[in-house]
Amino acid sequence: MTTLADIADQLREARRQAGLTQQQLADRAGLNRLTVGRMENLTHGDMSVLALVRLLEAAGFHLKVVKVGHTRTLEDILAEQRRGESAP
């Protein structure tokens, strides 16, 4: 099960992979830097899904829902097929 702490860690990692500071990410997403910090550290113990989506997209990522037990989405499989890759 993915916890809010896991999501906060993933958000922080997405920002770092994009090479952005919290302020830069906040600016790109049109949010306050404090919001980024609160979400990365779970200061309020909760996070806004809208803010999460905006921050992830500003870092170059998308939020996807994946069935429990699966690591790839249907989109992943179709993209692999288009590239001629075989399934693991």
pTM metric for this prediction: 0.76
Would you list the domain boundaries of the chain?
4-63
49 touches 4 (CB < 8 A): no
**What is the reported pLDDT for 43?**
85
- pLDDT tens for the chain, residues 1 to 88: 688 999 999 999 999 999 999 999 999 999 999 999 999 999 888 889 999 999 999 999 998 877 787 777 777 788 888 888 655 5
**What is the reported pLDDT for 79?**
83
Which residue has 């590239």 as its token pair?
A: 83
Tell me, which fold does domain 4-63 have in CATH? 434 Repressor (Amino-terminal Domain) (1.10.260)
